[in-house]
């Protein structure tokens, strides 16, 4: 599960990391007041620096024009109007982009230098690892490619967690000096605490910044000005506070409906809807559809214990995708019974109707009962064809769609 930046900032701040205060708004008419509040609370006053940031579950906002520095209520309003009325397109969103409905208006900071700091799981060492770089702000993937030596890693002991001496070592290697060292260590420990406390799969601060020296802070201040947290879905049952941060508006609606019925569904770009049981068989089905010249419209694993209702919902989801020009059902009944699938096909046919070609391949548990159900419903589902095996099914559906 993902959360918005403003929620991630809140989690970080609770763990003791210094994060500039901000407010979330959903209307451009609130931007002027939010600007004034942000700069006033930061002790800056009118004319002070603030930042308006689109809250979407994707990065690359800066380059896309969806992170704007503003110095007046008017500029804040203008930035808000732009972000709320345009789709954000970045290297992380795909060409269709994302709608923006929430904005964070936060106190802005002057930046002397940007750093990268994150924790994720390193499968090779079977440890969580802190990753840090003095080349922050930019895409870390690019740094990893062009200058891998600029990325530092510190493995985290599963029981003891990130140790202060590890954080200090990292801070020195990153080039922090004077009072910055202690502040950077504090942020690192806060990130580590947040990661463990909330069962994260990724916790990232990019950029972590140092502000220029001032009279009150001669070494500058180390601050987190962007945060991204992903959480392990399997732990959400014990992370009620995190689960409550879920924003359905950020999810693909079809994938959301599927999730509610415990179906593993991922929308794809093709036109052949696939309904399969078992993740491995679903992958093989997509491969064979492609092998015969077709393009799958989705990945869908109904699982072993799906009910007739869940499978019917799966058909509803597939058939509600207008790109779908044909449907292929490939069931190898083990725990899943072929008659349950057949019942669901009949129910879906009654309810939504198969206007597109449907090719069904059933094998395994209760296959005779399943075939009998479909045979009996033939008149109601004129677009249905039976297939003898996986290859036959793929060829038939591709031919039906392309023919």
How far does Cα 87 stand from its chain's mean position? 17
Q: How far is CA 69 from CA 72, 104, 110, 143, in A?
A: 10, 12, 10, 25
User: According to the binding rule CB under 6 A, does residue 111 interact with ligand GDP?
Assistant: yes
State the Cα angle at 66 between 61 and 70, rounded to 5°.
125
In the set 114, 204, 250, 313, the catalytic residue is: 204
Interaction of residue 135 with ligand GDP, rule CB under 6 A: no
Of 270, 256, 265, 397, nearest in space to 330 by CA? 397
In the chain, the N- to C-terminal Cα span, in Å, equals 41
Tokens 């190898």 belong to 332
| Residue 60 touches ligand GDP, criterion: CB under 6 A | yes
d(CA 162, CA 170): 11
Strand partners, 161: 157
Q: Is 278 in the site for ligand GDP (CB under 6 A)?
A: no
User: Of the residues 35, 116, 195, 265, which is catalytic?
Assistant: 116
Find the binding residues for ligand GDP in span 187-226 (CB under 6 A). Answer: 206-207, 225-226
What gap in Å lies between CA 261 and CA 258, rounded to an integer?
Answer: 5
| Side-chain half-sphere CA neighbours of 334 within 13 A | 7
Question: Could you tell me the CA-to-CA distances from 333 to 261, 276, 288, 338 in Å, in that order?
Answer: 19, 10, 19, 6
Point out which span in 56-64, 78-86, 97-105, 309-317 binds ligand GDP (CB under 6 A): 56-64
Angle at 39 between CA 36 and CA 41, to 5 degrees: 100
Determine whether 322 is exposed, middle or buried from the number of CB atoms within 10 Å of its CB (0-12, 13-18, 19+).
exposed
Which of Mn ion, ligand GDP, none does 18 bind, CB closer than 5 to 8 A by kind?
A: none
Provide CB contacts within 8 A for 13, sequence distance 6+.
19
Does 112 bind ligand GDP (CB under 6 A)? Our answer is no
Comparing every residue's Cβ against ligand GDP, the nearest one is 62
Residue from the set 16, 18, 37, 62 that interacts with ligand GDP by CB under 6 A: 62
Q: Is 65 in the site for ligand GDP (CB under 6 A)?
A: no
Q: Is 113 in the site for ligand GDP (CB under 6 A)?
A: no
- Yes or no: say if 126 and 161 are a contact pair by the CB < 8 Å rule: no
Which of 48, 108, 326, 357 is close enough to bind ligand GDP by CB under 6 A? 108
Q: Which residue stretch of 109-117, 158-166, 197-205, 267-275 sits at the interface with ligand GDP (rule: CB under 6 A)?
A: 109-117
Residues 24, 77: contact at Cβ < 8 Å? no
The answer to whether 204 is a known catalytic residue is: yes
- Interface with ligand GDP: number of residues (CB under 6 A): 18
Q: How far is the CB of 58 from Mn ion (least distance, A)?
A: 11
**Does the footprint of ligand GDP cover residue 114 (CB under 6 A)?**
yes
Under the criterion CB under 5 A, does residue 114 sit at the interface with Mn ion?
Answer: no
For residue 398, the minimal CB distance to ligand GDP (Å) is 40
Minimum distance from residue 138 beta carbon to ligand GDP (Å): 8
Output the smallest distance, CB 372 to ligand GDP, in A: 56
CB 320 → ligand GDP: shortest distance, Å?
32
Binding site for ligand GDP (CB under 6 A): 51, 53, 59-62, 67, 69, 108-111, 114, 137, 206-207, 225-226
**Could you list the active site residues?**
116, 204
Residues within the interface to Mn ion (CB under 5 A): 206, 226
């Amino acid at each position: 599960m993902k959360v918005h930046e403003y929620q991630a900032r809140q989690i970080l701040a609770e763990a003791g990391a210094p994060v500039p205060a901000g407010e979330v708004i959903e209307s451009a008419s609130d931007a002027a007041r939010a600007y004034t509040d942000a700069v006033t609370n930061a002790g800056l006053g009118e004319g002070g620096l603030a930042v308006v940031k689109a809250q979407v579950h994707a990065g690359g906002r800066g380059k896309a024009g969806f992170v704007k520095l503003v110095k007046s209520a008017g500029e804040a309003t203008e930035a808000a109007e732009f972000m709320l009325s345009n789709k954000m397109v970045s290297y992380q969103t795909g060409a269709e982009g994302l709608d923006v409905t929430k904005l964070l208006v936060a106190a802005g900071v002057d930046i002397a230098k940007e750093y990268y700091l994150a924790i994720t799981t390193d499968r090779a060492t079977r440890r969580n690892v802190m990753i840090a770089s003095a080349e922050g702000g930019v895409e870390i993937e690019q740094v990893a490619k062009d200058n891998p030596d600029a990325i530092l890693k510190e493995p985290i002991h599963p029981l003891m967690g990130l140790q202060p001496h590890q954080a200090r070592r990292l801070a020195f290697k990153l080039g922090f000096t004077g009072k910055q060292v202690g502040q950077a260590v504090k942020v690192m420990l806060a990130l580590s605490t947040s990661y463990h406390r909330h069962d994260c799969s990724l916790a990232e601060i990019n950029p972590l910044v140092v502000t220029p020296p001032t009279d009150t802070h001669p070494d500058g201040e180390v601050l987190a000005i962007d945060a991204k947290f992903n959480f392990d879905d399997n732990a959400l049952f014990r992370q009620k506070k995190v689960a409550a941060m879920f924003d359905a508006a950020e999810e693909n609606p079809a994938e959301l409906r599927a999730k509610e019925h415990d179906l593993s569904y991922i929308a794809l770009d093709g036109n052949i809807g696939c309904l399969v049981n078992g993740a491995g068989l679903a992958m093989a089905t997509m491969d064979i559809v492609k092998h015969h010249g077709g393009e799958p419209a989705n990945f869908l694993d109904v699982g072993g214990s799906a009910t007739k209702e869940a499978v019917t919902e799966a058909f509803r989801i597939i058939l509600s995708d207008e790109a779908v020009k044909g449907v292929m059902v490939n069931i190898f009944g083990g725990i899943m019974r072929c008659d349950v699938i057949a019942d669901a096909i009949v129910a879906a046919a009654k309810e939504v109707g198969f206007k597109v070609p449907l090719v069904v391949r059933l094998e395994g548990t209760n296959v005779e009962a399943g075939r009998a159900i479909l045979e009996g419903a033939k008149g109601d589902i004129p677009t249905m064809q039976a297939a003898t095996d996986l290859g036959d099914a793929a060829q038939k559906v591709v031919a039906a769609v392309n023919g």
